[in-house]
Structure 1
Amino acid sequence: MELPLLYATIGVASVVLALLSRRLRSLPVTEPLVGLVLGIVLARAGILGGSGALGWTEAQRDTLLLESSRLLLAASVMAAALRFSTGTLRDLVRPVAWMLLVVMPLAAVISGALSLTLGLPLALAAVVGACLSPTDPVLAASVVTGDVAEKSLPQRLRALLTAESGANDGLALPLVAIAASLALTARHPGEEALHLAWQVLGAVAIGVVAGVATAAGRRRASREHDLAAGPRLVLTLLLALATLGLARLAGTDGVLAIFVAGVAYGARTDRSTREEQDMVDEAVNRYAVVPFFAVVGAALPWADWAALGPPLALVAVGILLLRRLPTVLLMAPALGLDRREAAFAGWFGPMGVSAVFSVFHARDQGVDDPRLVAVGMFLVACSTVVHGTTAAPFVRLFARVAGSRSP
């Protein structure tokens, strides 16, 4: 009975969330938070994981979370790439570059340094820091999308958070690979540098070709009336899946390739088609997170957390407060943000699906210390709760402060 009960529970929760989707954006609740709590409850009841019918071994858990997070990231970064026009994204090249080249590496250093207080070896702390450095596009979407966000937040701020979260998930993988190589000493430094360069440059090339070719194919199919309305709506999801497969076959960074493919496709697609397809991508992404975070909630390593003790909670507080907020505030002029916008952008750098993917990617590369999963999953759980409950109130606070400063 466990499997039908699981389907029913997650399905009913998703239906309720869909029916309340507009109102949900004004409440301190997000779909990932609901999924996380649901997974914890189901695991404690023995329905998902543990001793239930869906119990898994450690290897099965790792594979399930790695591949499901990979697919969810594929959909979410494609949605991020399509959310704003190419002109809007082009205007953000400089601030996004600052976020990727300064804020993200410093986030990795700060997170790794704080992790050292748990007694982790330097190399393992570096892996933890790299895994926690990117901004999650799934959790970030709950902040920058919806009627409330569109009315309360400047478009440029929403676009900056979207572009950063879409781009830095792919670029975080080289950081993870560098940190993992320090932990494993698996490759010669020269070989590792060539491998990382190919991961990034190859991903960009594959993304550009896939995006441009798909846009050209869509235009021709539309002229010849070969493309039906239904398939047209899911074309970008199919593009994301195809790009992911091609990038992985070529040994490049699949997540980065998908974001580039989305941007290239959007640049050669009319606005109405792009917005229509983005709406479908966002809807799929928004409700796919419920079963994903239910699995995350069921897989939380409570025993490993207990072994690390109270310092783990203190490290989590430090990472949430210091990982990017001070850096973004200091860099506000370079980012073209005022202090209020910088505080908002600095706070909302959530850790979620991208961190789960990075943690289990590092595991797949051979970093098998259980403390990596323990620390990484604790921060994902904390970020899901903290950023999920503060998103709607902080958006409203941003709007009130902006209104009070208006002439």
Structure 2
Amino acid sequence: MLQLSHELILLGIGGLILLAAWIPLLLKKLPLSLPIICIGLGLLLSMTPWFQASQTRLTHDPTLEHLNEGIVLIALMGAGLRLDRKFGWQRWRSTWVLLLAVMPLTMLAVFAAAHWGVGLSIAAALLLAAAIAPTDPVLAADVQTGPPTQGEDGETRFGLTSEAGLNDGLAFPFIALAISVQQGAVDWLHWSLVEVASDLALGVLIGWVLGSIAGYLMFRLPSAKLSDTGDGLVAIGVTFCAYALSVLIHGNGFIAVFIAALTIRSTCPDNEFHTAMAEFSGQIERVLMTLVMVLFGWAVGKGLLAPLDWRGALLAVGIVFVIRPAASLVAFARSDTPGLSKRLMGFFGIRGIGTLFYLQYAFNRAQFGERSQIWAIAGTAILLSIVVHGMTATPLMAKADARREERENAEATEPA
């Protein structure tokens, strides 16, 4: 697959690690992001003879599927650990609107456009809709909450972080449904009771139990508490244990990881070890994301988007600029959420590594005749999202943060 020496591979990996650490500092005040730089490097790499591989193999390789899966899981743990707001139905109302209204509306609109507009089969349109609807937990870092124990970051950042933590688990049953439809073996009762209800319930249960045990071992064990080590690597261990245990008993592993993170976060919430775990998770996530984005840029340079026609291009543009924002405006129409927060939560429905994983997962388990077309549409939407959202996240979120500070200052000066 690779025509590179061992030394060149080490040089490339070392360079990516340094890049992942250094570039965010250089881009702090610029309308650019690390993923944009990585995609550009991947495009340049595609023009050289140094990396020789089949573009088809890269988009369907099981190893890369598991790599993307791992990045998403680590991102879910990091997202849960960064949320300072306690769980609650009222306190999390923006989350429920995003999950139970915005995402389903987005999925329905994408399915309809893909099936009747682009001409994809029902299974292919469902797969594209399910894969592209969730907000990516990895590439949305610039619009999410800051480190734990730092206080609230406003409704926009909270809503996008909590949504990204839960929507992967809610979208996954529809990926399984698309595979079943493609294989001609749909059992609707089994899907609704097992793939949806049972899997979600088991994921919540496993996440809560394992998170409670981990929280006790970290913060409340009479002696030799894990938090005394100061080693953020513990978060990765809990992530993989929660996911693997949940999947082994046929639960929803993505939900389990995020619930485990929330449960840990609620245990001794002021302890600095939460920050250590979140920072370590973020570092690992950033390094792996850098690698995947370089490979994605290489695949784009090698023709990933070549099968795209005008209808597919129109759908990809619509996903980023029309469907998700419109769904958000409809869902939040009667909400008392500030207007700017509504618009930003709709606009920043970032697509990325989660979509890559879903498509790899599906294509490695069922034969979709339109897979090149699906890759082209999804890849275009991801590319547009990374470039547009990456360039606008810094100024727009700075505006949102300034508005929030103005409201807080005004409320603080109001007479009692």
Sort the TM-score into its range (normalised by shorter chain).
Answer: 0.7 to 0.9
Question: Partner residue of 1:255?
Answer: 254
Residue 384 of structure 1 aligns to which amino acid in structure 2? I
Distance change (3 Å), C-alpha of 1:391 and 1:253? same
Task: Give, in whole Å, the separation in 1 of the partners of 2:112 and 2:52.
Answer: 33
Classify the secondary structure of the residue corresponding to 1:277: helix
CA offset at residue 175 of structure 1?
A: 2.1
- Deviation string 1:235-256 (CA, Å, 9 cap, x unpaired) is 1111001111112212222111
Are 1:178 and 2:177 matched, yes or no?
yes
Kindly tell me: are residues 41 and 250 of structure 1, through their superposed partners in 2, closer, same or farther at Cα, counting changes over 3 Å?
A: farther
Matched, 1:235 2:238: no
Range with greater deviation from structure 2 (225-234 or 178-187): 225-234
The amino acid of 2:252's aligned partner reads D
Partner Cα separation in structure 1 for residue 25 and residue 58 of structure 2: 39
Tell me the alpha carbon deviations over residues 264-300 of structure 1, each in whole angstroms, 9 at most, x when there is no partner: 1111233222223212222222232101212222334
Deviations 1:335-374 (A, max 9, x none): 5422211111111010011111111222233143322333
List structure 1 runs of 4+ shifted beyond 6 angstroms.
400-407
Aligned twin of 2:266: 267
1:217 equivalent in structure 2 = 217
Alignment partner, residue 11 of structure 1: 14
Name the structure 2 match of 1:33.
36
1:195-210 matches, cutoff 5 A = 195-196=194-195, 197-210=197-210
CA shift at 1:396, angstroms? 3.5
Distance 1:334 1:210 in 2: 38
Q: Deviations over 1:1-33 (max 9, x none)?
A: 455334424532442442353442322222222
Do the aligned partners of 1:77 and 1:255 also contact (CA within 8 Å) in 2? yes
Q: Is the 8 A contact 2:75 2:137 kept in 1?
A: yes
Seen in structure 2, the aligned counterparts of structure 1 residues 373 and 92 have a Cα distance that, compared at 3 Å, is farther
Equivalent-residue separation in structure 2 for 1:176 and 1:60 (angstroms): 17
Q: Aligned letter for 1:161?
A: L
- Closer/same/farther in 2, CA of residues 402 and 86 from structure 1, 3 Å limit: closer
Q: CA deviation at 1:206?
A: 1.1
Q: 1:167 to 1:2 in 2, by over 3 A?
A: same
Aligned residue for 2:274, secondary structure, equals: helix
Tell me, which stretches of 5 or more residues in structure 1 are unaligned?
none
Residues 17 and 24 in structure 1, CA contact (< 8 A), matched pair in contact too: no
Counterpart for residue 96 of structure 2? 97
Counterpart contact for 1:135–1:350, Cα < 8 Å:
yes
Contact 1:95–1:334, Cα closer than 8 Å, also in 2: no
Partner of 1:376 in structure 2? 378
Maintained 8 Å contact 1:233/1:277? yes
Is it true that 1:162 corresponds to 2:161 in the alignment? Answer: yes
Does structure 2 retain, via aligned residues, the 8 Å contact 1:22–1:146? no
1:386 to 375, 385, 388: 388
Alpha carbons 1:2, 1:47 under 8 Å: kept? no
Letter in 2 for 1:27: L
AA aligned opposite 2:380: F
- Name the CA shift for 1:154/1:261 in 2 (closer, same or farther; >3 Å): closer
- Report deviation, 1:73: 0.7
Amino acid in structure 2 at the alignment position of 1:376: A
* AA at the equivalent of 2:205: A
Deviation at 1:58, TM superposition (A): 2.7
More helix by percentage: 1
Q: How many residues were matched structurally? A: 399
Which residue of 1 is the match for residue 282 of structure 2?
282
Structure 2: runs of 5 or more not aligned: 411-416
Q: What is the TM-score when the length of structure 1 is the normalising length? A: 0.87
Corresponding position of 1:356: 356
CA distance in 1, matches of 2:295, 2:17: 15
